[in-house]
Amino acid sequence: MNKIFKRRIGVIIIFFAAFTAMLVSFPAGAQKSVSPGDIVAVVNGSTISRAEFDGELEMVKQRFSEQGRVVTEDQLKQIEKSILETLINRELLYQQSKKNEIRITEQEILDQLQKIKRGFPSESEFQEALKRINISETDIKNQIKRALAIRELIDMQVAQKIEVSDKESKAYYDTHLDSFKQPEQVKASHILIKVDSGADALKKAKARDEIKAIQKKLADGEDFAEVARKFSQGPSSARGGDLGYFKRGDMVKPFEEAAFTLKINEISDIVETRFGYHLIKVFDKKPERTIEYEEVKPRLTEYLKQQKTQQEIDRYIEKLRSEAVIERML
């Protein structure tokens, strides 16, 4: 709960990344008109509607439902407070974008609209979705315009000004070496003949005969990948059984123990797991190591830049809040 709803104000930096998904889900609260008694906040004279608030709340409830979680009364109050403050932040940022004379072109809006439409099987189904919740394409375009303006404001006023020095990134690396440890890994392929662990003896015997026949083909020199493509019943069969690199804990125990015991280019004996019978071939091994600074430097620098940007956005929004007139009706 805390991870989702007690984020700092600065989460607005990821607002646009989630914005397309928000539009595609079309919250029922996204209505056109706002009656005088249907306002949850006023920000510098601009209203935030109950409909917009309810739409955001419905999306959060839906996410909880999809995860099989029930929202308690205490959690609901916390969620509602978080949503209200997020909507206030968005309004403040959009107002500031207008003060900075940020202009979003029609083509930029249309490009984002096309991305949203691609989330639907067809144009007609997209239009049907709009009708069901009484929202127009113009409404969506207006919301896209606001989101793009906010993103550009953040980029111009905050993100472009953030720099991370080599000294800062190296200091972080040196004090967080455990974060850059890479465990032992193996690169392996497998051939699977499925049989349920609770299957009767006859089914298990049949599956074991199948895997033994495949084992003989390999012993006779047939190519492992080709045999996997023809006979393996696992999802990796199309890739010749290739599972890529994996570490301990990624696979079920019997499979893991066999894979990490094998030498490079060695094929295992038959391995039984809850999925069935496997033959495993190891193609490469990577010992445990600490990733070198130069190797991780670009990603580390970007990570630290995001962290600093997050902090600066917090400060930027707090400044806007300190200068704003905000009235809450909830």
Q: Express each pLDDT in 244-286 by its tens digit.
A: 999 999 999 999 999 999 999 999 999 999 999 999 999 999 9
Q: What is the pLDDT of residue 1?
A: 31
Q: What is the pLDDT of residue 241?
A: 97
Does any domain span residue 248?
Answer: yes
DSSP state letter for 270: -
Does any domain span residue 293?
Answer: no
- What residues are paired with 193 via a beta bridge? 277
- In this structure, the answer to whether residues 88 and 232 fall within a common structural domain is no
Does any domain span residue 81?
Answer: yes
Structural domain for 6, as ranges: 2-164+304-328
- In this structure, the answer to whether residues 50 and 104 fall within a common structural domain is yes
H helices of the chain, in order, are: 2-5, 15-25, 50-66, 73-99, 106-117, 123-132, 137-157, 166-175, 201-219, 224-231, 253-261, 293-323
Asked if residue 133 has pLDDT above 70, the reply is no
DSSP string, 301-314: HHHHHHHHHHHHHH
Does any domain span residue 234?
Answer: yes
- In this structure, the answer to whether residues 157 and 34 fall within a common structural domain is yes
- Please name which of 266, 241, 271 lies closest in space to residue 254, comparing C-alpha atoms: 271
CB 278 within 8 A of CB 270: yes
- In this structure, the answer to whether residues 309 and 278 fall within a common structural domain is no
- Using CA atoms, how far apart are residues 91 and 289, in angstroms rounded to an integer? 48
- In this structure, the answer to whether residues 154 and 217 fall within a common structural domain is no
- Using CA atoms, how far apart are residues 265 and 62, in angstroms rounded to an integer? 49
- In this structure, the answer to whether residues 96 and 143 fall within a common structural domain is yes
- In this structure, the answer to whether residues 119 and 194 fall within a common structural domain is no
Confidence of residue 36 (pLDDT cuts 50, 70, 90): low
Give mean pLDDT, residues 201-211.
Answer: 95
Does any domain span residue 235?
Answer: yes
Confidence of residue 37 (pLDDT cuts 50, 70, 90): low
- Indicate the pTM of the whole model: 0.63
How many separate domains does the chain show? Answer: 2
Q: What is the pLDDT of residue 64?
A: 86
Q: What is the pLDDT of residue 3?
A: 33
CATH number of the domain where residue 271 is located: 3.10.50.40
Does any domain span residue 176?
Answer: no
Does any domain span residue 114?
Answer: yes
- In this structure, the answer to whether residues 145 and 24 fall within a common structural domain is yes
- In this structure, the answer to whether residues 213 and 70 fall within a common structural domain is no
Does any domain span residue 295?
Answer: no
Q: What is the pLDDT of residue 143?
A: 87
- In this structure, the answer to whether residues 47 and 128 fall within a common structural domain is yes
CATH number of the domain where residue 136 is located: 1.10.4030.10
- In this structure, the answer to whether residues 221 and 269 fall within a common structural domain is yes
- In this structure, the answer to whether residues 118 and 207 fall within a common structural domain is no
